[in-house]
Amino acid sequence: MGDAIDLTGDGGVLKKIVRRAKSYAVEPSDDLPLVDVHYEGTLADTGEVFDTTHEDNTIFSFEIGSGSVIRAWDVALRTMKVGEVAKITCKPEYAYGSAGSPPDIPADATLVFEVELVACRPRKGSSMSSVSEERARLDELKKQREMAAAVKEEEKKKREEAKAAAAARIQAKLDAKKGGGKGKGKSK
């Protein structure tokens, strides 16, 4: 979707946008440092996939700037918006360096990641208002689930009552036929 952007100025982290985010999409910030991503990592030399979240459709979450991921990710994810997909090429010094990450990533490997930024979130407990807002949101979701369950239960009960009433009518008709009209003025 365009040329690769050199995010570090030394060719260490290159980003090429595969799919742009909406213009109003949020981006990681000091207030929203937790990010959720889908990704697939390949070795630049061979194209071999060494890690992916796509196989089991998982989300990988981390905090930007905390040192929990390779430097290239900290650099690149700061430039992305939710919904964006980018191909990120990471030179060894911004990835796993001369040590690599055996057995999957050899020493001095250049890595290519296709990364989708799925969400940005505040740190847990970062402020009392965000915690109370999250609790209120979860309580509201719980109420909605309970109401939906109650409606389903009521509908199930009505269906069972209708089945029982239909079965009773059928049984009454069968009983009437079996009786052959006894007691309707026939004499022996």
pLDDT in tens, 76-115: 999 999 999 999 999 999 999 999 999 999 999 999 999 9
Residue with tokens 């979701």: 141
What's the average model confidence in pLDDT over 133-158? 74
60 labelled catalytic: no
Asked if the model's pLDDT at residue 127 lies above 60, the reply is no
What's the average model confidence in pLDDT over 23-44? 93
State if pTM tops 0.85: no
What's the average model confidence in pLDDT over 174-183? 73
Write down the pLDDT at residue 128. Answer: 44
Catalytic residue among 17, 36, 50, 60: 50
Catalytic residue among 17, 56, 59, 70: 70
96 labelled catalytic: yes
Q: Say which residue, 171 or 185, is predicted with more confidence.
A: 171
Lowest mean pLDDT among 111-125, 128-142, 146-160: 128-142
CA–CA separation, 104 vs 115, rounded Å? 19
**Distance between start and end Cα atoms, the chain:** 98
Quick one: which H or E segment has residue 37? strand 34-43
94 labelled catalytic: no
Q: Say which residue, 139 or 25, is predicted with more confidence.
A: 25
The CA-atom distances, in angstroms, between 15 and each of 29, 48, 53 are: 19, 19, 20
39 labelled catalytic: yes
Percent of the chain topping pLDDT 70: 85
* Most confidently modeled range among 24-33, 77-86, 144-153: 77-86
50 labelled catalytic: yes
Catalytic residue among 64, 88, 94, 96: 96
Asked if the model's pLDDT at residue 161 lies above 80, the reply is yes
Lowest mean pLDDT among 34-48, 67-81, 104-118, 133-147: 133-147
Q: Is 40 strand, coil or helix? A: strand
Write down the pLDDT at residue 153. Answer: 85
Say if residue 116 is exposed, middle or buried (CB neighbours under 10 Å; 0-12, 13-18, 19+): buried
Asked if the model's pLDDT at residue 60 lies above 90, the reply is yes
Write down the pLDDT at residue 54. Answer: 87
Catalytic residue among 74, 88, 105, 113: 113
Q: Say which residue, 53 or 150, is predicted with more confidence.
A: 53
Catalytic residue among 36, 51, 104, 108: 51
113 labelled catalytic: yes
